[in-house]
Amino acid sequence: MIVRLQAFARETMKPWKWAALACGAVLWSAPSPQQAPEPKIMKQGFGKTPDGVPVELYTLTNRKGVRVSITNYGGIITSLLVPDRNGRSRDIVLGFDTLEGYLKGHPYFGAIIGRYGNRIGQARFTLDGVEYKLAKNDGDNHLHGGLKGFDKVVWKAREYTDGDGLHVALDYRSRDGEEGYPGNLDVNVVYTLNDNNQLRIEYTATTDKPTVVNLTNHSYFNLAGEGDILGHVLQIQADYFTPVDQGLIPTGELRPVKGTPFDFTTPTAIGARIDADDPQIRFGRGYDHNFVLRGAAGTLREAAEVYEPSSGRVLRVLTTEPGLQFYSGNFLDGTLRGKGGQVYAHRSGFCLETQHFPDSPNKPQFPSTVLRPGQTYRSTTVFEFSAR
């Protein structure tokens, strides 16, 4: 048996390894490569709300070292560690180290947005002949669900693992009349991390009265992990965008991007035209606009891709939604200190919010956001990470 092993070793090992075996008394074995981490979910306490409700933090880690932490307060993605082209991981989303940072107020870092993501003009809409008045929390307009939207509630959470990956499922009942919206709305959001480095978000909702629904996630990304995002190279699969008035409410027009600062049909640095002398740029102080995505809404398709040259990280966004709000962090002003004391300066993060169009309840020409009893709202978004 020993002779056969030695013969096999002589034929298969490099000469220096065979020499070491011949001189020694034991059979050499190659050191095993570093074992890929087993996928796992870790659950831990994340503090309490001011009224004493416990909050939890769930950390999902896949075999390739991608790690995402999600709290059931607001369904917030608090951190997202992704390797660069050299295998070094950094946190690529803006946020805070503790629950207290989120409780003090913030620009929706990482949160689930609802009932209605983005703006509703004049904080009102009419449905089936009934006018509903909403909270005015953005000048005369309603923004991201109101004074206490889905970003500020504690969701019921459970974690589980199956063949599709690691999951955190969140549930919340938005009561009839909450923030002015009609109907009891039962919402389920499932975050899934798989070994293809995809973070999948699946939204479903049902109602007992006609209502409007537009759910999204409001993560701020910085693929370098620090600095501004002007050198990130962005491509959006959209030939049209929805221009806005000075209050950032869509006018109802679908305007071609060609020949404007909004043309990201080919890879373009975010900072290339962000300060162009253009009324739309001035209204948003940069980019804060909805893009009309190519392809059929309801089918999962590519919406955007972002490449960060210094790290090589790539973010690819897929969605079933008809629109994508690209926001370039124009209202970040350095007053917020985030994780590790990092100052979140002007344009230090960007958002790609998959969505229906802003102010759709008041724009019958836009895709409808009405949900009726017996129907199920469904929406899927995938954030896919790689490096090159």
- Span 65-90, pLDDT tens digits: 999 999 999 999 999 999 999 999 99
**281, 261 Cβ separation under 8 angstroms:** yes
Average pLDDT value for the chain: 92
Per-residue pLDDT band at 56 (split at 50, 70, 90): very high
Q: Give residue 36's pLDDT.
A: 66
257 plus 216 within the same structural domain? yes
Is 142 among the residues known to form the active site?
no
134 plus 178 within the same structural domain? yes
| Interatomic CA distance for residues 146 and 195, integer angstroms | 36
121 plus 174 within the same structural domain? yes
pTM over 0.85: yes
15 plus 120 within the same structural domain? no
CATH value at residue 144 = 2.70.98.10
Is 353 among the residues known to form the active site?
yes
10 plus 56 within the same structural domain? no
21 plus 78 within the same structural domain? no
- Cα 184 vs. chain centroid, distance in angstroms? 26
pLDDT higher than threshold 90 for residue 1? no
117 plus 11 within the same structural domain? no
pLDDT higher than threshold 60 for residue 20? no
4 plus 141 within the same structural domain? no
Q: Is the dihedral of CA 358, 362, 367, 371 positive or negative?
A: positive
Domain of 27 in residue numbering reads as 1-31
**Residue in 142, 144, 167, 218 annotated catalytic:** 218
> pLDDT tens for residues 229-253?
999 999 999 999 999 999 999 999 9
Nearest Cα residue to 191 out of 349, 320, 68, 81: 68
202 plus 270 within the same structural domain? yes
What region does 129 belong to: left with phi over 0, alpha with psi -120 to 50, or beta?
left
306 plus 277 within the same structural domain? yes
CA angle 40–215–357, rounded 5-degree value: 140
**Residue in 144, 308, 353, 356 annotated catalytic:** 353
Total domains present in the chain: 2
141 plus 281 within the same structural domain? yes
For 28, the token pair is 């050499």
6 plus 65 within the same structural domain? no
